[in-house]
Amino acid sequence: MPASEPLIVFCSPGDRRSAGIQQARLRLGMPPALLIPYAGLLEGQPLADLLEQAVQQQVRDGMPEQAGLPTPGLNGAPGRAQLEQPDSLDGSNGRPTPDFPDGSGGRPALDSPAQAGPPLLRLESSDGSFSRHPALDSSAQARPPLLRLESPGGSFGLERALIALGAPDAPDTDDSLHPFGQQPDLRPLSFKAAAALKDMPGVLHHPSQWFRGYCRLLARIRREAGQLLPASRWTNDPAEIAAMTDKRRTQQILAEAGVPVPRPLCGSGGQAPVDYASLRELMLTQRMHRVFIKLASGSAASGVIAYQLNPATGAEVAVTTIGVENYITRPPVYYNSGKLQRYTDSARLAGIINWLYRHGAYAEQWIPKPGISGHSFDIRQLVVAGEACHAVARVSTTPITNLHLRSQRMTPAEAGLPEEMQAQVRRSAEASLAAFPRCSIAGIDVLVGSSGRTYTADVNPFGDLLYDVEYQGCSTYEWEMKQLSGRNLSL
């Protein structure tokens, strides 16, 4: 395996994802990643300052020794992280260089092991002391750092901050990465109102405004990273993460690439439903009586409805994770119940579906899933650097198979999927990721229809959090670190 580049991860430090990455790098003998907290970015701290803080934290944790580098003291002085430029042979760039006992100015000797490793990030401090950290410069022999974005979920504080960032009067209104940024959010919250939201577990406060704020954050990260680390490479490009996070745009991209997807519900002129009434009308005219309705920016089955309409009687039934609390004097509150609910009341269903479409929804053909003993399943297939690897069959007695809804986890073989179909699933997943050429990692949800044809239902840029699943003896994060090290990734 080639020497690893430094890895910079935008994440919530200490969560399961960042911990999994650090554990994988430790097992592989790689230096730990620099963790840049989303919370700091959303508080308005510049990326340069957060990078400096991450470097200082790793210096305190003894990371330079792990990388085989000298560790001059910081003396607690504040500093600024700067990529060294090769302006002078001694690396001083015209600045005074502190004296070190070996006369090296703190730089590893030319024949030292560290010299063959990555270039260095210099952390200048006000008293002239500095530390060194593996990073990359723009010299010909240097290898640029890898930048990785992790999921921003799991914290109400982050959710609230992203909703505020998506407000019409937010200080940053760069919607360049929003796939449908020209369409305003309905009933938006002001920046002040969003910042005052209270934590109500499970409540879906304003999904469309959250997504707008997330796209703005992605645009800012890409902009600042491009300025600070111009030679850096993304494992998944922020623009394509934004596209993957909007199910409407994801399915458009897949269809344009020739990847089979469930047929979208739309009229002969391409018009999609916009509310409950137009949904039912299109289902009848298109003779598509069973559909999945999905919140465009939802994840983990949040905002998903398996909906059936009887064309003869008009009766309807829906299975969903969406719960609703109705009030006399204020609008209803919609929340993720964490378990499946069943609805048959038209008035209640109209309220839920209309709310979904206000925040952006997508309806598609309900593909019957294969199954055994009354259970159906789909496949979460991880693809890394173009190669299908870890796979999990999500097996359930319900049409919604997400694992946190108490679905069973099996290998595809245990779920009864023949080897030739497993190979077809892998090919479908690889073709799905190839539709996003600037992305190297995604969890692809693949459906196997009753005819044996495969369909891609979703492309998840953060779909690699799979527990106790190995491929060639590696966990998901270990495999990713090995496969992406030294690869020619997206710029």
As averages over each run of 10 residues, the pLDDT of the chain (491 residues) reads 79 95 95 96 96 89 49 36 34 34 32 34 39 47 84 93 98 96 93 96 93 98 96 96 97 97 93 96 97 90 90 96 87 88 95 96 89 80 98 83 69 92 97 98 93 93 94 96 73 41
Q: HEC string of 279-296?
A: HHHHHHHCCCCEEEEEEC
Distance CA(305)–CA(279), nearest Å, equals 13
Looking at residue 203, what DSSP letter applies? B
Relative to beta strand 233-234, strand 146-149 is parallel
Distance CA(342)–CA(7), nearest Å, equals 45
Distance CA(38)–CA(216), nearest Å, equals 13
* DSSP secondary structure, 415-433, as one string: TT--HHHHHHHHHHHHHHH
Please state, in angstroms and as integers, the Cα–Cα distance from residue 391 to each residue in 181, 214, 412, 414, following that order: 34, 28, 7, 12
Asked if residue 9 lies in contact with residue 36, where contact means CB atoms within 8 angstroms, the answer is: yes
Residue in the structure block whose two tokens are 């009308």: 281
What pLDDT is recorded for position 303? 87
Structure tokens at 331: 């609008």
Would you report the helix, strand and coil content of the chain in percent, each value rounded to 5? 30, 25, 45
Report the predicted TM-score, pTM, of the whole model to 2 decimal places.
0.84
Structure tokens at 368: 């019957």
Asked if residue 306 lies in contact with residue 376, where contact means CB atoms within 8 angstroms, the answer is: no
Asked if residue 272 lies in contact with residue 464, where contact means CB atoms within 8 angstroms, the answer is: no
Distance CA(391)–CA(383), nearest Å, equals 9
Q: Nearest Cα to 80, choosing from 95, 67, 90, 69?
A: 95
Distance CA(152)–CA(302), nearest Å, equals 15
What pLDDT is recorded for position 139? 52
What pLDDT is recorded for position 402? 64
Distance CA(52)–CA(46), nearest Å, equals 10
What pLDDT is recorded for position 77? 37
Residue in the structure block whose two tokens are 């992203």: 162
Task: List, in sequence order, every residue forming a beta bridge with 362; answer none if it has no partner.
Answer: 294
Q: At what angle do helices 207-228 and 156-165 cross, to 10 degrees?
A: 80
Phi-psi region of 106 (alpha: psi -120 to 50; beta: other; left: phi over 0): left
Distance CA(60)–CA(489), nearest Å, equals 31
